[in-house]
A = this chain, B = another copy of it.
Amino acid sequence: MALIVQKYGGTSVGSVERIKNVARRAIKWAEAGNQVVVVVSAMSGETNRLIALAREVQPEPDPRELDVVASTGEQVTIGLLAMALKSMGQPARSYTGFQVGVHTDSAFTKARIEAIDEQRIRADLDQGMIVVVAGFQGMDAQGNITTLGRGGSDTSGVALAAALGADECQIYTDVDGVYTTDPRVVPEASKLPSITFEEMLEMASLGSKVLQIRSVEFAGKYRVRLRVLSSLTPWDIPLEQEMRSGTLITFEEDQNMERAVVSGIAFARDEAKITVVGVPDRPGIAYQILSAVGQANIEVDMIVQNQSVAGFTDFSFTVGRNDYARTLSILKNEVQAHIGAKDVLGDPKSCKVSIVGVGMRSHAGVASTMFRTLSEEGINIQMISTSEIKVSVLIDEKYLELAVRALHRAFDLDAPQNT
């Protein structure tokens, strides 16, 4: 008997009829002999409605009280889903994050899970119940209600699976798995039957919207077997077919020799590039630049420093486009004179395109294939950064679609993928 944690997002529970279908699907897994815990989000639109209401009262809502308000969205869904299960004859019980003991830190609106009391869930499972848990929420050491921030329900699901030692955590979304790239950009994109945890982490962090990055990190840390599935398939398809319909995120590299060198093309729109020009090349400069940015809670993505010439160097990095103006202003007003830089330049119209694949570890020339492909399309590369399993380039955002399509073709991803 396997223990499965299933997580359903807001779209999957977006109406009464959909909640009933989630109940039917969970019962199908239970009737196949599994113990099933279901983690749910708020019904789609509900969290936005609650936040808008809060903003009407207080334009920048008090974070503690915002969590009190926002956490009600999931609480409604768990009650409704438990009712649906019971109405179908399936014993079930719902729990809020508070009730089930999802302990978090006190960072309201973006809390992190520290521990979960799983005894109560386990006792219910042993009685044959399907247990329904509110995602996205927990409580801090003082008994305050906390929320995990947007997308936090994925993390709740993975954390519960880790606490319970579940055999698998199944994330149901309105996409049917992980694709070689976004099918809206490349119609030939195809679903990957499996992907390694490392690749998934790169894909998620590079803008693939399938899973929230923190949940993937969590899964990696606790070695939770993760499966992305589509909640759009009919609920009554056979289990084997349903499993094949998604993407499994594995910890072992696939031994299949036919596996492609590059598994997917990820991209992130809305990047902005900042360059601090003519920086005296001495120790501590990078720290002085980035700490000022970090203190303003601005997240930095790619970082590149050129070889210094005559004691001066240029220091470039990217931030989200929303943070562009603020970053530029911090550097010009607080940093430039202080470190003796000549100028601070920027370009808010960049995007990042990355090729990802564990296969590239053992294949030379992957990067050069990427650069040649972009060059043949006349696309200028602004920045490059690499890791063992990915190569990212920053380019002008107007070339995003062209670059992704060309790379998808160049790395033989236009044909259906097999494991």
**Residue ranges of A at the interface with B (Cβ–Cβ < 8 Å):** 16, 19-20, 50, 53-54, 56-58, 61-62, 64-69, 71-72, 75-76, 78-80, 82-84, 86-87, 93-94, 96, 98-99, 143-145
Partner of A75, one of B56, B72, B84, B86: B72
In the complex, what distance in Å separates the CA atom of A80 from the CA atom of B80? Answer: 24
How far apart sit A54 and B78, CA to CA, in the bound complex (Å)? Answer: 11
Closest to A56 in B: B16
**With known contacts A58-B87, A99-B143, A143-B99, A68–B53 Cβ distance under 8 A:** no
If A69-B79, A79-B69 touch, whether A57 touches B20 (CB-CB below 8 Å) is yes
B68 in contact with A50 (CB, 8 Å): no
Specify which chain B residues have a CB less than 8 angstroms from the CB of A98 in the assembled complex.
Answer: 98-99
Which A-B residue pairs are the 7 nearest by beta carbons?
A69-B79, A68-B79, A72-B72, A58-B83, A58-B87, A65-B79, A16-B56
CB contact between A62 and one of B16, B86, B145 (< 8 Å): that residue? B86
Min CB gap A129→B, angstroms: 12
Provided the pairs A66-B79, A79-B69 are in contact, do residues A57 and B96 lie with their beta carbons within 8 angstroms?
no
Cα separation A93 to B62 with both chains bound (whole Å): 10
Q: Is the CB of A54 within 8 A of B69?
A: no
C-alpha spacing A365/B213, complex, angstroms: 80
Pick 17 A–B contacts, CB within 8 A, sort by A.
A16-B53, A16-B57, A50-B76, A54-B79, A57-B83, A58-B86, A58-B87, A62-B82, A62-B86, A65-B79, A65-B82, A66-B83, A68-B79, A69-B79, A69-B80, A72-B76, A75-B75
